[in-house]
Amino acid sequence: MFLVFSWFPVGVEGIPLELVYRVLSHVSLQDLTTLLATSSYLKSLIEESPLLWSRVHTKELWPNEKTWRWFERAAKCGNVEASIKLVVALLYYEGVSMGKPVHNGELAFALFESLETGGSLGPRSQLWLLYRPPWGAQPLCSKRFVFTRISHVAQLKGASWGIRVLSRISEVVPDGVRHSDSFEINWVKKALEEGDIHARLLHWRFRYEKRHREGNLDPGTELQAIRDMREMCLTGYYPAALTLSLFLATSRCPQIQGLPEIREFLQSSPPSRTYYALRYQQQVTPHMHHVLVDWLCEVANIRLHSSHILHAATQIVEAYLSMEQVTCNQLQLIGITAVLLATRCVLT
């Protein structure tokens, strides 16, 4: 007795929806838009799923006149990667021509506001590095417009995200570099009134750190500074714990016993970012990492960059290595890119 099996072709409609969505969640934006033209069934599934658009990765695709609407769709669904690429394209007019600079600036401002208030990036977002002064003499650039627009929103409407952003910018822009009247406002103080923990740390540094470094703090004031910082550490803010440990380690006051707190901080500190980066990488070895850092030191020395820029570049490299797999021949490119980004993060 023989059993006869009949095979029937099964289309995509016969596949369970859960499996279809699971597969589509790993598809890039370019492939996702291609699938829209292959099947009306897939088209309806993709267009009616904001979750897919919010998670789709763009890879090497960049906003242009053909892909702009897809990036815009993903950004409206909360896709951070698509939003940031749109912002950069609007700031520099790369790959898209959308009329007047004011129009580009308004669109960029709306995206920045959405990113800062949407909760995807958190209060420690570094997006302000994209538009903070000083600005170059580029006619096709809307950075100045975006910065001015954020200043107006912070001043006139009291937008907490704008106040927080401007307090961060005022921290890194020195007194000799002023491109706007908005810096006449003490944004750190305003952010402190809004309850921003980082502004609280900046305010503490402004009051005590310079005098402590110069040895001009009397014992009573130094004890008060330590009390204030210990209270801040109770919030669990890691930079506050680091600041307190450094302050105690350099204290000249014999009455202050900081060793137990320093020991506790070191024991409770998480492993360094280098540890996570090298653990994540499959091809990059500790020796390669050391060679890269040595080369970055040489670059910083040749270009007369400060140690702050060097440390910032190293942190950027390690942050990238913690998230993306790289090959050995990409390390130098990543390193020099990190140096360029660091020069925007730190002014010397």
100 contacts: CB under 8 Å, gap ≥ 6:
none
62 contacts: CB under 8 Å, gap ≥ 6:
85, 89, 94, 95
Give residue for tokens 């310079």: 210
pLDDT computed for residue 4 by the predictor: 47
pLDDT computed for residue 6 by the predictor: 44
pLDDT computed for residue 8 by the predictor: 43
CA of 112: how far to CAs of 4, 88, 90, 147, in Å?
Answer: 63, 11, 11, 11
Single-letter amino acid code for the residue at 108: A
pLDDT computed for residue 3 by the predictor: 46
Q: Before 134, cis peptide (omega within 30)?
A: yes
pLDDT computed for residue 271 by the predictor: 63
Which residues is 28 bridged to in the sheet?
57
* Token pair belonging to 106: 């308004």
What is the spatial distance between Cα 42 and Cα 319, in angstroms, rounded to a whole number?
Answer: 37
Return per-residue pLDDT of the chain as tens, 348 residues.
Answer: 444 444 445 466 667 778 777 888 888 888 888 888 888 888 888 888 888 888 888 877 888 888 888 898 999 888 888 998 999 888 887 655 555 556 788 888 999 998 888 766 666 678 888 888 777 666 667 888 888 899 899 988 888 888 988 888 887 775 555 545 555 568 888 888 888 888 898 889 888 888 888 888 888 888 888 889 888 888 888 888 888 888 888 877 655 566 666 666 655 666 667 777 888 888 888 888 888 988 888 888 888 887 778 888 888 898 889 888 888 889 999 999 888 888 876 654
* Token pair belonging to 118: 């949407």
pTM: 0.68
What is the spatial distance between Cα 113 and Cα 161, in angstroms, rounded to a whole number?
Answer: 8
Domains and CATH numbers, the chain: 1-76 (no CATH), 99-195 (no CATH), 197-268 (no CATH), 273-345 (1.10.472.10)
pLDDT computed for residue 264 by the predictor: 67
pLDDT computed for residue 169 by the predictor: 84
CB 318 within 8 A of CB 277: yes
pLDDT computed for residue 268 by the predictor: 62
Mean pLDDT (the chain) is: 80
What is the spatial distance between Cα 162 and Cα 115, in angstroms, rounded to a whole number?
Answer: 12
What is the spatial distance between Cα 161 and Cα 123, in angstroms, rounded to a whole number?
Answer: 8
Per 3-state DSSP, the chain is made up of helix, strand and coil in percentages (nearest 5) of 65, 0, 35
pLDDT computed for residue 261 by the predictor: 65
CB 317 within 8 A of CB 310: no
